[in-house]
Amino acid sequence: MVVLGLDETQGFAPTGLPDPARLAADLGSMCSEDMEPPLRPLIKVHDFEGAQILVAEVPELDPARKPCYSRGAGITKGSYVRVCDGDRRLSAYEVQMMLSSRGQPREDEQTVSGVGLDHLDTAMVDALVARLRTSRPYAFKDLDRLAVLRRAKVLVTGDSGEDVASLGGLLALGSYPQEHFPQLMVTFVHYPTETGGRSTERFLDNVTLEGPVPVMVRDTLATVRRNMSRRAVVGVRAGRTSGSTQRPLCVRLSSTHWSTATCPGALEAPKSRSRCTRPPGDP
């Protein structure tokens, strides 16, 4: 809600407006012509304590239409959010998140030109088909192998009408996705110290992990476990017990989040530094 004609410094006392009708018309024109998408606020002039004030009620936009921005500044520089008593420009990341939230993301259904069923790992495809037929029989039980893959969006229709692998299908089930996306990888580096410097050894382990996403997650977990420090605890009743100083579940969640959200994750361990990163320029 926007209220014009009050003085905040005087306890929001009404000061009135010289020409409220013209101000209402100008505000409505600005909302309609200068904003994208156009806004349709409810604008009214009210008599309040002997003065005229203008009140504009701006309804919240549907998530599918956000963000609303100034056309002159553009969507990146013209999108703002109200924080406390000021307006803060949205970052490029925040704008992108709003745009991606406008509907169901479908980036994983993009076609990968020239990639068909023969580029997928047969064992992984068979395991997926069997699991879908067992866990979701209503949707997949009576379908043949190709129909299951089409319904699961592993295969999609290409430009020429043929079955081609989707982006999600290739990344999850491909024999070697790096043939088409060379920068799709996990680079694990284990530094000897927390800061990574002032040591005669540059690193203790340096591994590049490739393959489909499930294989990269599996190999990442194995690599992290191999580089984890271990401890032993001797108790009066339990005796000697040993285990790692980190929780494998946390490592798995971090690795899976990186692979599904295609964003870099960081895995750090005490007295060493281990990173899971993407090369620069990876989309």
Q: pLDDT tens digit string along 61-77?
A: 998 899 999 999 999 99
Q: Report whether pLDDT(151) > 80.
A: yes
- Give the model's confidence band at 276: pLDDT under 50 very low, under 70 low, under 90 confident, else very high: very low
- Average pLDDT of the residues of the chain: 82
Give pLDDT tens digits for 168-213. Answer: 999 999 999 999 999 999 888 888 777 655 656 677 888 999 999 9
Give mean pLDDT, residues 240-259: 56
Q: What is the CA radius of gyration of the chain?
A: 29
Lowest mean pLDDT among 77-91, 176-190, 227-241, 261-275: 261-275
Task: Give me the torsion for CA of 111, 115, 121, 126, rounded to 10°.
Answer: 60
| CA–CA separation, 240 and 228 (whole Å) | 19
- Give the model's confidence band at 58: pLDDT under 50 very low, under 70 low, under 90 confident, else very high: very high
Cross-sheet strand order for the sheet of 265-269: 205-209, 186-191, 272-277, 265-269
Lowest mean pLDDT among 105-114, 166-175, 208-217: 105-114
pTM over 0.85: no
Q: Which tokens is 133 given?
A: 């037929």
Whether the Cβ atoms of residue 116 and residue 165 lie closer than 8 Å to each other: yes
Whether the Cβ atoms of residue 262 and residue 213 lie closer than 8 Å to each other: no
| E strand residue ranges, the chain | 2-4, 6-7, 13-14, 35-36, 42-48, 51-57, 69-70, 80-83, 86-89, 155-157, 163-165, 186-191, 205-209, 230-235, 239-244, 265-269, 272-277
| Percentage of the chain lying above the pLDDT 90 cut | 51
Q: What is the pLDDT of residue 201?
A: 67
